[in-house]
Protein backbone atom coordinates (compact mmCIF):
# COMPACT_ATOMS: atom_id res chain seq x y z
CA UNK A 1 0.00 0.00 0.00
CA UNK A 2 1.07 3.53 -0.76
CA UNK A 3 2.02 5.74 2.16
CA UNK A 4 -0.46 8.45 3.03
CA UNK A 5 0.46 12.00 2.15
CA UNK A 6 1.36 14.28 5.08
CA UNK A 7 -1.92 16.08 4.42
CA UNK A 8 -3.84 12.82 3.98
CA UNK A 9 -6.04 12.68 7.10
CA UNK A 10 -9.36 13.40 5.44
CA UNK A 11 -8.69 11.19 2.43
CA UNK A 12 -9.84 7.59 2.04
CA UNK A 13 -7.72 6.88 -1.00
CA UNK A 14 -4.22 7.78 -2.08
CA UNK A 15 -3.69 10.20 -4.94
CA UNK A 16 -3.61 8.52 -8.38
CA UNK A 17 -0.18 8.01 -9.89
CA UNK A 18 -1.04 10.17 -12.87
CA UNK A 19 -2.15 13.03 -10.61
CA UNK A 20 0.89 12.60 -8.40
CA UNK A 21 3.22 12.78 -11.40
CA UNK A 22 1.36 15.73 -12.85
CA UNK A 23 1.47 17.77 -9.67
CA UNK A 24 4.92 17.00 -8.31
CA UNK A 25 7.30 19.96 -8.37
CA UNK A 26 10.25 18.19 -6.77
CA UNK A 27 12.27 18.03 -10.00
CA UNK A 28 12.46 21.82 -9.94
CA UNK A 29 11.98 23.00 -6.39
CA UNK A 30 14.52 20.58 -4.89
CA UNK A 31 16.94 23.25 -6.03
CA UNK A 32 15.60 25.30 -3.09
CA UNK A 33 16.63 22.78 -0.42
CA UNK A 34 19.18 25.04 1.23
CA UNK A 35 16.71 27.90 1.50
CA UNK A 36 13.98 25.56 2.71
CA UNK A 37 16.19 24.18 5.49
CA UNK A 38 17.46 27.61 6.49
CA UNK A 39 13.89 28.87 6.74
CA UNK A 40 12.82 25.83 8.76
CA UNK A 41 15.73 26.21 11.17
CA UNK A 42 14.78 29.84 11.81
CA UNK A 43 11.16 28.87 12.27
CA UNK A 44 12.04 26.02 14.67
CA UNK A 45 14.27 28.35 16.69
CA UNK A 46 11.42 30.85 16.97
CA UNK A 47 9.00 28.09 18.05
CA UNK A 48 11.43 27.24 20.86
CA UNK A 49 12.09 30.83 21.93
CA UNK A 50 8.39 31.69 22.10
CA UNK A 51 7.62 28.51 24.05
CA UNK A 52 5.27 27.18 21.37
CA UNK A 53 7.37 24.00 21.50
CA UNK A 54 9.95 23.14 24.15
CA UNK A 55 13.58 24.22 23.88
CA UNK A 56 14.56 20.59 23.68
CA UNK A 57 12.14 19.88 20.82
CA UNK A 58 13.38 22.93 18.99
CA UNK A 59 16.99 21.74 19.39
CA UNK A 60 16.11 18.25 18.15
CA UNK A 61 14.38 19.64 15.08
CA UNK A 62 17.29 21.94 14.30
CA UNK A 63 19.90 19.22 14.57
CA UNK A 64 17.69 16.92 12.48
CA UNK A 65 17.47 19.59 9.78
CA UNK A 66 21.23 20.15 9.90
CA UNK A 67 21.78 16.45 9.46
CA UNK A 68 19.41 16.41 6.48
CA UNK A 69 21.41 19.24 4.92
CA UNK A 70 24.63 17.25 5.34
CA UNK A 71 22.98 14.13 3.91
CA UNK A 72 21.66 15.96 0.86
CA UNK A 73 25.09 17.48 0.33
CA UNK A 74 26.83 14.11 0.59
CA UNK A 75 24.27 12.37 -1.59
CA UNK A 76 23.06 10.08 1.22
CA UNK A 77 19.57 11.55 0.81
CA UNK A 78 18.25 11.77 -2.73
CA UNK A 79 15.18 13.42 -4.13
CA UNK A 80 12.86 11.24 -6.14
CA UNK A 81 9.85 11.92 -8.26
CA UNK A 82 7.41 10.28 -5.86
CA UNK A 83 7.83 13.32 -3.58
CA UNK A 84 5.30 16.11 -3.94
CA UNK A 85 7.57 19.06 -3.28
CA UNK A 86 10.70 20.17 -1.42
CA UNK A 87 8.79 21.19 1.70
CA UNK A 88 7.11 17.82 2.19
CA UNK A 89 10.28 15.94 1.27
CA UNK A 90 12.27 17.60 4.01
CA UNK A 91 9.51 17.30 6.59
CA UNK A 92 9.16 13.60 5.79
CA UNK A 93 12.90 13.05 6.20
CA UNK A 94 12.86 14.99 9.45
CA UNK A 95 10.20 12.77 10.95
CA UNK A 96 12.07 9.69 9.76
CA UNK A 97 15.16 10.99 11.55
CA UNK A 98 13.80 12.35 14.83
CA UNK A 99 10.37 10.74 15.11
CA UNK A 100 7.09 12.44 16.07
CA UNK A 101 8.77 15.65 17.23
CA UNK A 102 9.48 16.29 13.54
CA UNK A 103 5.75 16.78 13.15
CA UNK A 104 5.92 19.90 15.36
CA UNK A 105 8.02 21.87 12.90
CA UNK A 106 5.05 22.92 10.80
CA UNK A 107 3.25 24.56 13.76
CA UNK A 108 2.00 28.02 12.78
CA UNK A 109 3.31 27.65 9.27
CA UNK A 110 2.00 26.62 5.85
CA UNK A 111 3.67 25.67 2.62
CA UNK A 112 2.12 28.83 1.25
CA UNK A 113 4.29 31.15 3.31
CA UNK A 114 7.15 28.64 3.20
CA UNK A 115 7.42 28.63 -0.57
CA UNK A 116 7.30 32.42 -0.77
CA UNK A 117 10.05 32.51 1.85
CA UNK A 118 12.23 30.02 -0.04
CA UNK A 119 11.92 32.03 -3.23
CA UNK A 120 12.77 35.29 -1.54
CA UNK A 121 15.78 33.72 0.16
CA UNK A 122 16.93 32.27 -3.16
CA UNK A 123 16.59 35.64 -4.88
CA UNK A 124 18.51 37.36 -2.10
CA UNK A 125 21.52 35.36 -3.28
CA UNK A 126 20.68 35.40 -6.98
CA UNK A 127 20.24 39.18 -7.26
CA UNK A 128 23.70 40.08 -5.89
CA UNK A 129 25.16 37.34 -8.14
CA UNK A 130 23.58 38.98 -11.16
CA UNK A 131 24.82 42.39 -10.02
CA UNK A 132 28.34 40.97 -9.72
CA UNK A 133 27.99 39.59 -13.26
CA UNK A 134 27.10 43.06 -14.49
CA UNK A 135 30.04 44.58 -12.62
CA UNK A 136 32.33 42.11 -14.32
CA UNK A 137 31.13 43.03 -17.82
CA UNK A 138 31.45 46.71 -16.89
CA UNK A 139 35.04 46.16 -15.74
CA UNK A 140 35.94 44.54 -19.05
CA UNK A 141 34.27 47.39 -20.96
CA UNK A 142 36.24 49.90 -18.90
CA UNK A 143 39.52 48.10 -19.67
CA UNK A 144 38.70 48.08 -23.38
CA UNK A 145 37.64 51.73 -23.38
CA UNK A 146 40.89 52.63 -21.65
CA UNK A 147 42.99 50.63 -24.11
CA UNK A 148 41.28 52.24 -27.09
CA UNK A 149 40.56 55.62 -25.66
CA UNK A 150 41.65 57.52 -28.80
CA UNK A 151 40.56 55.04 -31.47
CA UNK A 152 38.09 56.48 -33.94
CA UNK A 153 35.33 54.45 -35.56
CA UNK A 154 32.29 55.08 -37.71
CA UNK A 155 29.21 55.74 -35.60
CA UNK A 156 25.91 54.49 -36.99
CA UNK A 157 22.28 55.39 -37.10
CA UNK A 158 19.95 53.11 -39.07
CA UNK A 159 23.13 51.01 -39.35
CA UNK A 160 24.31 53.52 -41.94
CA UNK A 161 27.57 55.34 -41.39
CA UNK A 162 26.70 58.57 -39.61
CA UNK A 163 29.49 60.43 -37.79
CA UNK A 164 32.88 59.44 -36.43
CA UNK A 165 32.95 58.62 -32.73
CA UNK A 166 35.46 57.17 -30.35
CA UNK A 167 35.32 53.42 -29.91
CA UNK A 168 35.76 54.13 -26.19
CA UNK A 169 32.67 56.36 -26.25
CA UNK A 170 30.66 53.58 -27.87
CA UNK A 171 31.87 51.01 -25.32
CA UNK A 172 31.07 53.37 -22.46
CA UNK A 173 27.51 53.73 -23.78
CA UNK A 174 27.04 50.00 -23.24
CA UNK A 175 28.60 50.34 -19.80
CA UNK A 176 26.18 53.06 -18.76
CA UNK A 177 23.16 51.00 -19.81
CA UNK A 178 24.41 48.09 -17.75
CA UNK A 179 25.07 50.37 -14.79
CA UNK A 180 21.38 51.30 -14.74
CA UNK A 181 20.48 47.61 -14.86
CA UNK A 182 22.57 47.16 -11.75
CA UNK A 183 20.55 49.94 -10.10
CA UNK A 184 17.37 48.17 -11.17
CA UNK A 185 18.61 45.02 -9.46
CA UNK A 186 19.36 46.95 -6.28
CA UNK A 187 15.90 48.38 -6.35
CA UNK A 188 14.28 45.03 -6.87
CA UNK A 189 16.40 43.58 -4.06
CA UNK A 190 14.86 46.08 -1.63
CA UNK A 191 11.35 44.86 -2.37
CA UNK A 192 12.41 41.20 -2.27
CA UNK A 193 14.15 41.58 1.08
CA UNK A 194 10.97 41.16 3.15
CA UNK A 195 9.91 38.07 5.05
CA UNK A 196 6.52 36.49 4.30
CA UNK A 197 6.93 33.79 6.95
CA UNK A 198 4.26 33.75 9.62
CA UNK A 199 1.45 34.47 7.21
CA UNK A 200 0.70 30.74 7.55
CA UNK A 201 -1.85 29.65 4.94
CA UNK A 202 -2.86 33.32 4.46
CA UNK A 203 -4.91 34.42 7.43
CA UNK A 204 -2.18 34.34 10.07
CA UNK A 205 -2.15 31.99 13.04
CA UNK A 206 -3.39 31.95 16.62
CA UNK A 207 -0.06 30.52 17.81
CA UNK A 208 1.94 33.28 19.47
CA UNK A 209 4.64 33.25 16.77
CA UNK A 210 7.21 36.02 16.42
CA UNK A 211 7.47 36.97 12.76
CA UNK A 212 10.09 39.62 13.41
CA UNK A 213 12.35 37.10 15.16
CA UNK A 214 12.32 34.86 12.07
CA UNK A 215 12.88 37.82 9.76
CA UNK A 216 15.88 38.91 11.86
CA UNK A 217 17.28 35.37 12.01
CA UNK A 218 17.19 35.19 8.22
CA UNK A 219 18.55 38.70 7.73
CA UNK A 220 15.44 40.23 6.17
CA UNK A 221 15.12 43.96 6.17
CA UNK A 222 11.39 43.93 6.93
CA UNK A 223 8.18 41.88 6.91
CA UNK A 224 5.58 41.53 4.20
CA UNK A 225 3.08 42.81 6.73
CA UNK A 226 -0.31 41.76 5.34
CA UNK A 227 -0.55 37.97 5.59
CA UNK A 228 -2.82 37.64 2.54
CA UNK A 229 -0.40 39.72 0.50
CA UNK A 230 2.54 37.70 1.85
CA UNK A 231 1.38 34.43 0.29
CA UNK A 232 -0.41 35.85 -2.77
CA UNK A 233 2.14 38.15 -4.30
CA UNK A 234 4.74 37.14 -6.86
CA UNK A 235 5.52 40.62 -8.17
CA UNK A 236 9.04 40.41 -6.70
CA UNK A 237 9.64 37.56 -9.13
CA UNK A 238 8.05 39.32 -12.06
CA UNK A 239 10.13 42.37 -11.30
CA UNK A 240 13.33 40.35 -11.32
CA UNK A 241 12.34 38.63 -14.58
CA UNK A 242 11.73 42.04 -16.09
CA UNK A 243 15.12 43.32 -14.96
CA UNK A 244 16.68 40.14 -16.37
CA UNK A 245 14.83 40.81 -19.63
CA UNK A 246 16.26 44.32 -19.81
CA UNK A 247 19.76 43.02 -19.06
CA UNK A 248 19.41 40.37 -21.79
CA UNK A 249 18.09 42.97 -24.22
CA UNK A 250 21.20 45.05 -23.55
CA UNK A 251 23.49 42.05 -23.91
CA UNK A 252 21.78 41.13 -27.17
CA UNK A 253 22.59 44.53 -28.63
CA UNK A 254 26.23 44.10 -27.72
CA UNK A 255 26.17 40.57 -29.09
CA UNK A 256 24.59 41.74 -32.33
CA UNK A 257 27.32 44.31 -32.83
CA UNK A 258 29.99 41.68 -32.24
CA UNK A 259 28.31 39.48 -34.86
CA UNK A 260 28.19 42.29 -37.41
CA UNK A 261 31.61 43.68 -36.57
CA UNK A 262 33.26 40.27 -36.89
CA UNK A 263 31.99 39.80 -40.46
CA UNK A 264 34.51 40.07 -43.31
CA UNK A 265 32.60 43.10 -44.59
CA UNK A 266 33.18 45.03 -41.36
CA UNK A 267 36.29 43.39 -39.94
CA UNK A 268 36.15 45.68 -36.89
CA UNK A 269 36.76 42.87 -34.43
CA UNK A 270 38.41 39.47 -34.36
CA UNK A 271 37.25 37.05 -31.71
CA UNK A 272 39.69 34.49 -30.40
CA UNK A 273 39.49 30.81 -31.29
CA UNK A 274 38.41 30.20 -27.70
CA UNK A 275 35.01 31.82 -28.23
CA UNK A 276 34.26 30.90 -31.84
CA UNK A 277 33.41 27.70 -33.66
CA UNK A 278 33.99 26.24 -37.10
CA UNK A 279 31.73 24.70 -39.69
CA UNK A 280 31.54 20.97 -40.38
CA UNK A 281 31.39 21.65 -44.12
CA UNK A 282 32.88 25.09 -44.89
CA UNK A 283 36.54 25.02 -43.91
CA UNK A 284 37.02 28.79 -43.86
CA UNK A 285 34.28 29.49 -41.30
CA UNK A 286 34.88 31.05 -37.91
CA UNK A 287 31.50 31.67 -36.40
CA UNK A 288 30.59 33.99 -33.51
CA UNK A 289 28.35 31.36 -31.88
CA UNK A 290 28.67 32.66 -28.32
CA UNK A 291 27.39 36.08 -29.36
CA UNK A 292 24.58 34.47 -31.34
CA UNK A 293 23.63 32.32 -28.37
CA UNK A 294 23.43 35.32 -26.08
CA UNK A 295 21.18 36.93 -28.68
CA UNK A 296 19.14 33.73 -28.87
CA UNK A 297 18.81 33.23 -25.12
CA UNK A 298 16.97 36.52 -24.80
CA UNK A 299 13.89 34.62 -25.95
CA UNK A 300 14.05 32.34 -22.92
CA UNK A 301 14.22 35.23 -20.50
CA UNK A 302 11.45 37.24 -22.17
CA UNK A 303 9.53 33.96 -22.17
CA UNK A 304 10.04 33.64 -18.41
CA UNK A 305 8.67 37.14 -17.88
CA UNK A 306 5.58 36.53 -20.01
CA UNK A 307 5.16 33.13 -18.39
CA UNK A 308 5.09 34.66 -14.89
CA UNK A 309 2.82 37.52 -15.89
CA UNK A 310 0.41 35.11 -17.50
CA UNK A 311 0.48 32.64 -14.62
CA UNK A 312 -0.38 35.39 -12.16
CA UNK A 313 -2.95 37.16 -14.30
CA UNK A 314 -6.43 37.18 -12.76
CA UNK A 315 -5.57 34.76 -9.96
CA UNK A 316 -7.90 35.40 -7.04
CA UNK A 317 -6.19 35.93 -3.69
CA UNK A 318 -4.69 34.16 -1.84
CA UNK A 319 -2.56 31.10 -2.79
CA UNK A 320 -3.46 29.06 -5.88
CA UNK A 321 -1.64 25.97 -7.05
CA UNK A 322 -1.03 27.68 -10.42
CA UNK A 323 1.71 29.55 -8.58
CA UNK A 324 3.83 26.42 -8.34
CA UNK A 325 4.56 26.98 -12.03
CA UNK A 326 6.69 30.00 -11.09
CA UNK A 327 9.83 27.94 -10.35
CA UNK A 328 10.77 27.05 -13.90
CA UNK A 329 10.73 30.65 -15.22
CA UNK A 330 12.40 31.92 -12.04
CA UNK A 331 15.35 29.55 -12.30
CA UNK A 332 15.59 29.90 -16.06
CA UNK A 333 15.62 33.71 -16.01
CA UNK A 334 18.27 33.81 -13.28
CA UNK A 335 20.52 31.06 -14.70
CA UNK A 336 20.32 32.26 -18.30
CA UNK A 337 21.03 35.88 -17.39
CA UNK A 338 23.88 34.95 -15.05
CA UNK A 339 25.49 32.69 -17.67
CA UNK A 340 25.03 35.25 -20.44
CA UNK A 341 26.72 37.96 -18.37
CA UNK A 342 29.61 35.63 -17.66
CA UNK A 343 29.91 34.71 -21.34
CA UNK A 344 29.76 38.33 -22.46
CA UNK A 345 32.55 39.37 -20.09
CA UNK A 346 34.74 36.53 -21.28
CA UNK A 347 33.95 37.01 -24.97
CA UNK A 348 34.73 40.73 -24.79
CA UNK A 349 38.06 40.01 -23.12
CA UNK A 350 38.80 37.56 -25.97
CA UNK A 351 38.01 40.12 -28.66
CA UNK A 352 40.57 42.11 -30.54
CA UNK A 353 39.43 45.50 -31.80
CA UNK A 354 40.89 46.25 -35.24
CA UNK A 355 41.20 49.98 -34.81
CA UNK A 356 43.14 50.50 -38.08
CA UNK A 357 40.26 48.98 -39.95
CA UNK A 358 37.79 51.22 -38.11
CA UNK A 359 39.88 54.26 -38.98
CA UNK A 360 40.02 53.27 -42.65
CA UNK A 361 36.23 52.94 -42.66
CA UNK A 362 35.98 56.47 -41.28
CA UNK A 363 38.40 57.89 -43.85
CA UNK A 364 36.89 56.06 -46.81
CA UNK A 365 33.32 57.04 -46.01
CA UNK A 366 31.28 60.21 -45.92
CA UNK A 367 31.11 60.51 -42.17
CA UNK A 368 32.63 63.97 -42.21
CA UNK A 369 29.69 65.47 -44.10
CA UNK A 370 28.20 66.96 -40.93
CA UNK A 371 31.57 68.67 -40.36
CA UNK A 372 31.32 70.35 -43.76
CA UNK A 373 27.81 71.56 -42.93
CA UNK A 374 29.03 72.87 -39.56
CA UNK A 375 31.99 74.56 -41.28
CA UNK A 376 29.68 76.40 -43.67
CA UNK A 377 27.38 77.32 -40.79
CA UNK A 378 30.29 78.83 -38.91
CA UNK A 379 31.06 80.89 -42.03
CA UNK A 380 27.59 82.38 -41.87
CA UNK A 381 25.40 80.09 -43.98
CA UNK A 382 22.10 79.12 -42.30
CA UNK A 383 22.37 75.46 -41.22
CA UNK A 384 19.55 74.26 -43.49
CA UNK A 385 21.29 75.73 -46.51
CA UNK A 386 24.66 74.40 -45.39
CA UNK A 387 23.03 70.96 -45.08
CA UNK A 388 21.74 71.23 -48.65
CA UNK A 389 25.07 72.39 -50.11
CA UNK A 390 26.88 69.58 -48.30
CA UNK A 391 24.38 67.09 -49.70
CA UNK A 392 25.36 68.21 -53.17
CA UNK A 393 29.06 67.77 -52.32
CA UNK A 394 28.35 64.22 -51.07
CA UNK A 395 26.47 63.43 -54.29
CA UNK A 396 29.46 64.74 -56.26
CA UNK A 397 31.86 62.50 -54.31
CA UNK A 398 29.56 59.52 -54.90
CA UNK A 399 29.33 60.23 -58.60
CA UNK A 400 33.12 60.34 -58.92
CA UNK A 401 33.71 57.48 -56.55
CA UNK A 402 36.03 59.50 -54.30
CA UNK A 403 36.11 60.37 -50.61
CA UNK A 404 35.09 63.83 -49.38
CA UNK A 405 38.67 64.65 -48.40
CA UNK A 406 39.94 63.99 -51.92
CA UNK A 407 37.64 66.46 -53.73
CA UNK A 408 39.91 69.23 -55.10
CA UNK A 409 39.41 72.73 -53.70
CA UNK A 410 38.32 74.15 -57.06
CA UNK A 411 35.43 71.69 -57.28
CA UNK A 412 34.46 72.39 -53.67
CA UNK A 413 34.38 76.12 -54.37
CA UNK A 414 31.92 75.52 -57.17
CA UNK A 415 29.43 74.46 -54.47
CA UNK A 416 30.07 77.39 -52.18
CA UNK A 417 32.44 80.32 -52.37
CA UNK A 418 32.68 80.18 -48.56
CA UNK A 419 34.86 77.08 -48.79
CA UNK A 420 38.61 77.68 -48.32
CA UNK A 421 41.69 75.52 -47.95
CA UNK A 422 41.07 75.25 -44.17
CA UNK A 423 38.06 73.00 -44.82
CA UNK A 424 40.46 70.06 -45.19
CA UNK A 425 41.53 70.52 -41.55
CA UNK A 426 37.92 70.08 -40.56
CA UNK A 427 37.84 66.77 -42.39
CA UNK A 428 40.33 65.28 -39.94
CA UNK A 429 38.14 63.05 -37.77
CA UNK A 430 40.32 63.34 -34.66
CA UNK A 431 40.08 67.07 -34.87
CA UNK A 432 36.32 66.90 -35.18
CA UNK A 433 36.17 64.72 -32.06
CA UNK A 434 38.37 67.13 -30.10
CA UNK A 435 36.14 69.99 -31.20
CA UNK A 436 33.02 68.50 -29.61
CA UNK A 437 31.83 70.80 -26.84
CA UNK A 438 28.57 69.40 -25.50
CA UNK A 439 28.61 67.40 -22.28
CA UNK A 440 28.78 63.64 -22.75
CA UNK A 441 29.90 63.93 -26.36
CA UNK A 442 32.59 62.01 -28.17
CA UNK A 443 35.42 64.34 -27.14
CA UNK A 444 38.50 62.34 -26.00
CA UNK A 445 38.95 64.56 -22.93
CA UNK A 446 35.39 63.93 -21.84
CA UNK A 447 35.64 60.20 -22.40
CA UNK A 448 38.88 60.07 -20.41
CA UNK A 449 37.11 61.84 -17.57
CA UNK A 450 34.13 59.48 -17.81
CA UNK A 451 36.40 56.44 -17.73
CA UNK A 452 38.21 57.78 -14.66
CA UNK A 453 34.93 58.54 -12.91
CA UNK A 454 33.54 55.05 -13.60
CA UNK A 455 36.82 53.49 -12.50
CA UNK A 456 36.45 55.26 -9.18
CA UNK A 457 32.85 54.12 -8.77
CA UNK A 458 33.60 50.54 -9.76
CA UNK A 459 36.35 50.14 -7.19
CA UNK A 460 34.11 51.40 -4.38
N1 LIG B 1 4.75 23.20 -4.22
C2 LIG B 1 3.93 24.32 -3.88
C3 LIG B 1 4.36 25.56 -4.70
O4 LIG B 1 5.44 25.56 -5.16
C5 LIG B 1 4.08 24.67 -2.45
C6 LIG B 1 2.88 25.29 -1.85
C7 LIG B 1 1.77 24.32 -1.91
N8 LIG B 1 0.68 24.72 -1.09
C9 LIG B 1 -0.44 24.03 -1.15
N10 LIG B 1 -1.37 24.45 -0.36
N11 LIG B 1 -0.64 23.04 -1.94
O12 LIG B 1 3.61 26.49 -4.88
pLDDT tier at 2, thresholds 50, 70, 90: low
Q: Is the pLDDT of residue 1 over 60?
A: no
Arithmetic mean of pLDDT over the chain: 95
What Å distances lie between residue 12 and 5, 8, 9, 15, CA to CA? 11, 8, 8, 10
Query: Can you give the length of the chain in residues?
Result: 460
Ligand 1 centre distance from Cα of residue 69 (Å): 21
Q: Over the stretch 267-300, which tens digit does the pLDDT of each residue have?
A: 999 999 999 988 888 888 889 999 999 999 999 9
Q: Which of 82, 263, 272, 279 is catalytic?
A: 279
Ligand 1 atom with minimal separation from the 111 CA: 6
Q: Over the stretch 423-458, which tens digit does the pLDDT of each residue have?
A: 998 888 999 899 899 999 999 999 999 999 999 999
Q: Over the stretch 199-222, which tens digit does the pLDDT of each residue have?
A: 999 999 999 999 999 999 999 999
For the Cβ of 31 lying below 6 angstroms from any atom of ligand 1, the answer is: no
Q: How far apart are CA 330 and CA 241, in angstroms?
A: 7
Q: DSSP letters along 417-460, please?
A: TT--TTHHHHT-HHHHHHH--STTSS-HHHHHHHHHHHHHHHH-
For the Cβ of 117 lying below 6 angstroms from any atom of ligand 1, the answer is: no
Ligand 1 centre distance from Cα of residue 115 (Å): 7
3-state secondary structure of 164: strand
Q: Is the pLDDT of residue 247 over 60?
A: yes
For the Cβ of 200 lying below 6 angstroms from any atom of ligand 1, the answer is: no
For the Cβ of 112 lying below 6 angstroms from any atom of ligand 1, the answer is: yes
What's the distance, Cα to Cα, between the start and end of the chain in Å? Answer: 62
The per-residue pLDDT for 279 is 83
The pLDDT of 113-133, averaged and rounded, is 98
Examine the residue annotation and report whether 169 is marked as an active-site residue of this protein: no
Q: Is the pLDDT of residue 365 over 80?
A: no
Ligand 1 centre distance from Cα of residue 206 (Å): 22
pTM above 0.85, yes or no: yes
Q: How far apart are CA 355 and CA 360, in angstroms?
A: 9
For the Cβ of 115 lying below 6 angstroms from any atom of ligand 1, the answer is: yes
What Å distances lie between residue 53 and 14, 48, 79, 96, CA to CA? 31, 5, 29, 19
Examine the residue annotation and report whether 158 is marked as an active-site residue of this protein: yes
The per-residue pLDDT for 426 is 87
Q: Which of 158, 417, 438, 459 is catalytic?
A: 158
The pLDDT of 320-324, averaged and rounded, is 98
Ligand 1 atom with minimal separation from the 29 CA: 4
* Closest C-alpha residue for ligand 1 atom 4: 324
Ligand 1 centre distance from Cα of residue 111 (Å): 6
Ligand 1 centre distance from Cα of residue 117 (Å): 12
Q: Is the pLDDT of residue 31 over 60?
A: yes
Backbone dihedral angles phi then psi of residue 342, each to the nearest 5 degrees:
-60, -45
For the Cβ of 111 lying below 6 angstroms from any atom of ligand 1, the answer is: yes
Amino acid sequence: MKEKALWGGRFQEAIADVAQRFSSSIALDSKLWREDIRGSIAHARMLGVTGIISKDESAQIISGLEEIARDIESGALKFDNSMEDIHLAIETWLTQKIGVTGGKLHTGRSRNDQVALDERLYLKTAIPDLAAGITHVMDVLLDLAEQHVDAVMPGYTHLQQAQPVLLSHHLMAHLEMLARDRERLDDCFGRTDRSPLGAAAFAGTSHPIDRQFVADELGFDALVENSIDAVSDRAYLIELASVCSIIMMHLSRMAEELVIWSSKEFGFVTMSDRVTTGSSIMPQKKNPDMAELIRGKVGRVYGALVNLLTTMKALPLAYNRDMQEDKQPMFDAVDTTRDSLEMMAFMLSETQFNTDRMREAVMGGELMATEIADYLTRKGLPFREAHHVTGKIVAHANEHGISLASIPLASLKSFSSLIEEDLYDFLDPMRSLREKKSAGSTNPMMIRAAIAAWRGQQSN
